[in-house]
Structure 1
């Protein structure tokens, strides 16, 4: 069901703390710390888990995998959650989950209790078993970019990241793990910069994803409350690139919203609630299947950790609302 925050609450949103959306060189107090990449293993090692006789007490697993990216010209990584009793003969829905600016792959698993929360929801029957992929994508916002496109604010990751995520990561996961390959069983979401990336990739590749979750999404509506405008201007250096990168522009195209479920949220004391709610209003005007949620909290791990169950129920809930 849809939860609509009051206009009075939005009007009272306080000025955001400087660490709300940290640069790579800034303190990371409100962003989950970068996850360790130790103990990387071959991605196929859990393919046979669950084959044959059922285990008495099946457990979930977190795999750290390596992907040889030809597009980026280097080895990239991903953290992969496999549900309890994972069986390579059973196709599972898959969620691609993106970290925030200055974060790293594996942040959800390492700092937001992703494994224990997901296990609990699966075991209680609140969500279906699923695979969750946290891909490495730097501070790229998930877009294809070139050095000469805009003024580099000094901490973004430049390169063909969209192509890497769509053309390399998704096929890799579909061939190395037992995933559902139809769009109905593939979801995308993220926090802060990851919320932007999920909107950008989900709306531009609606043939691949059926659900988009943008949690405390870092987006801009060119109002006086826009934050980190140097990053905004790097993403949107001209009208042409803005037309294909700006979620507000993408949401104005009804064809991108067909058969798509979208979940937007932000903490009540997060200044990004203003921009995120404005996007919610635009999506409502387009008659999109969109949900808005706002509860007490800021732009930090405490808020996202507290909301993680709600996020997972949106993606994979067994009793989803039809409205």
Structure 2
């Protein structure tokens, strides 16, 4: 696992040099690394986050996850994960996703939906196999800290052979990560809403991801404000577009997003991506929460990101 993640990090840095359209020269300038556990909550002059008291957690300092937050607990109710299939008109074949349903799930209840994206070397199994989302969510439910939600973990590589094999930076694979925006909006979300008892408004949808999936979440979330009200990126990779590319109306973003979360490990070689995105948001007075965790480009940071983000959404 460590070798694979180290390779992904190395390839991600290489990608920043090979794909200049992913970030402008200004965005690629490095800034001094902040200290671990730094939490910056920036409302900005035009910010509306928590102005009505609807999302108080978005404006509170981030407290590091406690020991054992991601460990399995025997004496609590547990949710379930299932692999589903859906037809993608974008790709032209059947695709798969893993769905987490919370403890006490019932077709007679209504749920919010978090779409949770993987990294460049992963697929619909990566979150469950490499991280601990089920433990984290089950434990938070047992503590009464989560709103009712299902979590959909799709394959963010929208192509017919979407396995993470061969050259993961091949042009067709890079294009497939971009194409997933259409698969997500036109195919996956409608499938989930047709087959699960979920709310169907933007305030009931969140989008977040790790590394490449973090970049996708920022790229797609800020361009689809009518679809998602909660957006998070954990250790965003260099596929992240600049704020100036994604935002033409800062006031609209500030008023429509309920939470824009960015977190990264203090020793991550890609920390500059998150820092520069945060700087771009600040320059446009767009409300956001920026959190610097302990660690590198690794599962512990992504587990922590999910722990923090999931408690702040749908509130």
Shared topology, TM-score over 0.5?
yes
What is the aligned residue count? 236
2:232 partner SS: strand
Rounded Cα–Cα distance in structure 2 between residues aligned with 1:314 and 1:124: 14
TM-superposed deviation, 1:107: 1.7
Q: 1:71 to 1:202 in 2, by over 3 A?
A: same
Matches within 5 A, 1:6-85: 18-20=7-9, 22=11, 59-85=78-104
C-alpha deviations, 1:252-279, integer Å up to 9, x for none? Answer: 5313343212000110011221221121
Q: 1:84 to 1:17 in 2, by over 3 A?
A: closer
- Which structure 2 segments of 5+ residues have no match? 13-75, 160-168
Contact 2:91 2:158 in 1 (8 A): no
- Which structure 1 segments of 5+ residues have no match? 1-15, 24-56, 141-150, 220-231, 236-244, 319-323
Contact 2:147 2:313 in 1 (8 A): no
C-alpha deviations, 1:81-124, integer Å up to 9, x for none? Answer: 00111111211111000000010113222221111110110110
Residue 256 of structure 2 corresponds to 259
Cα RMSD for the two superposed structures: 2.5
Residue 203 of structure 2 corresponds to 184
C-alpha deviations, 1:219-270, integer Å up to 9, x for none? Answer: 3xxxxxxxxxxxx6xx9xxxxxxxxx54442145313343212000110011
Contact 1:250 1:256 in 2 (8 A): no
Contact 2:235 2:264 in 1 (8 A): yes
Rounded Cα–Cα distance in structure 2 between residues aligned with 1:99 and 1:315: 19
Rounded Cα–Cα distance in structure 1 between residues aligned with 2:231 and 2:86: 24
Residue 163 of structure 2 corresponds to none
TM-score w.r.t. the length of structure 2 is: 0.68
Residue 132 of structure 2 corresponds to 113
1:89 partner SS: coil
TM-superposed deviation, 1:213: 0.2
Rounded Cα–Cα distance in structure 2 between residues aligned with 1:288 and 1:256: 7
Contact 1:102 1:139 in 2 (8 A): no
TM-superposed deviation, 1:153: 4.1
Asked which structure has the greater RCO (Cα within 8 Å, sep 6+), the reply is 2
TM-superposed deviation, 1:203: 0.9
TM-score w.r.t. the length of structure 1 is: 0.67
